[in-house]
Amino acid sequence: MKIIELKNVNKKFILHNQKGTVLKVLKNINLEIKTGECIALVGKSGIGKSTFLKMLYGNYLPSSGEINIYNNNKINIANALEHQIINLRRYFIGYVSQFLRVLPRVPIIEIVSDTLKQQSLFDEHSLIKIKKLLSELNIQESMWNLSPLTFSGGEQQRVNLAKTLIGNYSILLLDEPTASLDDINKSIVIDMIKSKLKKDVTIIVIVHDKKIRNEICTREINLEKYIPNDN
């Protein structure tokens, strides 16, 4: 069953205050993604992999085309109302960015709880579940009640993953989820991604390590073929 569909998607950036420079990034993307697939986005740095993910999340606006998400009904992210996108993000699509973005002074345990609260899934068992996840990700118990903003890059990335992986999403967009992790933590995260796939979650991931791609991904999409040729 298709869950994501891109139709004639184009993306360019017009930098009005920098002499009107036009950056054409991606052109004529037509593709379908089915439930339970794990797609790797590949292509050299700067080709538009993160831009692609951000368009799927509604964070970047396609210059033209449709991005249809099939929930119970079809929602075109490119022209949906704000509350429809907010609702999709709350219950349906999770996104792990490259960098953790959280409020100052909010402790880890609350950051992770918040995902469940937003999904109305927070109950008396939730804290145990959250603590288990944090332990599995090797985030020390002494840090759970601290804000992660001053932590190392790898620790922040694991908090960022915990925040999204705790949720019950049907689609996960992961932007280099293992980039700043050591080998042990890498394989832990890979196992977590695998268990999400077993639950039929659809995953679109940017990951440079070919070995990891071979281990988890069912298909690669090379963005080279969407480079505008008149650039």
Partner 1 sequence: MNIKKIMHVENLTHFYGNQIGCKNINFDLYKGEILGIVGESGSGKSTLLKCLSGEISPSAGKINISLDQGGVKDFLSLPEQEKRHLMRSMWGIVHQNPRDGLNLRISAGGNIAERLLNVSEKNYSFLRNTGKYWMKKTEMDPDRIDEFPLSFSGGMQQRLQISKILSSNPQIVFMDEPTGGLDVSVQAKILDTIKSIVRDINVTMIIVTHDLAVVRFLTDKLLVMKDGIIVESGLTDRVLDDPQHSYTQLLTSSILQV
CB of 137 to partner 1, least distance (A): 25
Residues engaged in binding partner 1 (CB under 8 A) = 13-17, 54, 58-61, 81-83, 85-87, 103-105, 117
Strands 74-76 and 64-70: antiparallel
For residue 121, which amino acid is it? Answer: L
Q: In 3D, which of 13, 11, 14 has the Cα closest to residue 53?
A: 11
Residue 15 or 210 having the CB closest to partner 1: 15
Of the pair 38, 116, the CB lying nearest partner 1 is at 116
Supply 53's token pair: 């993910």
Task: For residue 65, give the amino acid letter.
Answer: G
55/137 with CB nearer partner 1: 55
| Shortest distance in whole angstroms from residue 16 CB to partner 1 | 3
What span, in angstroms and rounded, lies between the C-alpha atoms of 90 and 114?
Answer: 11
CB of 50 to partner 1, least distance (A): 11
Considering beta carbons, is residue 85 or 109 the nearer one to partner 1? 85
Residue closest to 72 by CA, chosen among 57, 89, 88, 54: 88
Q: How far is the CB of 199 from partner 1 (least distance, A)?
A: 23
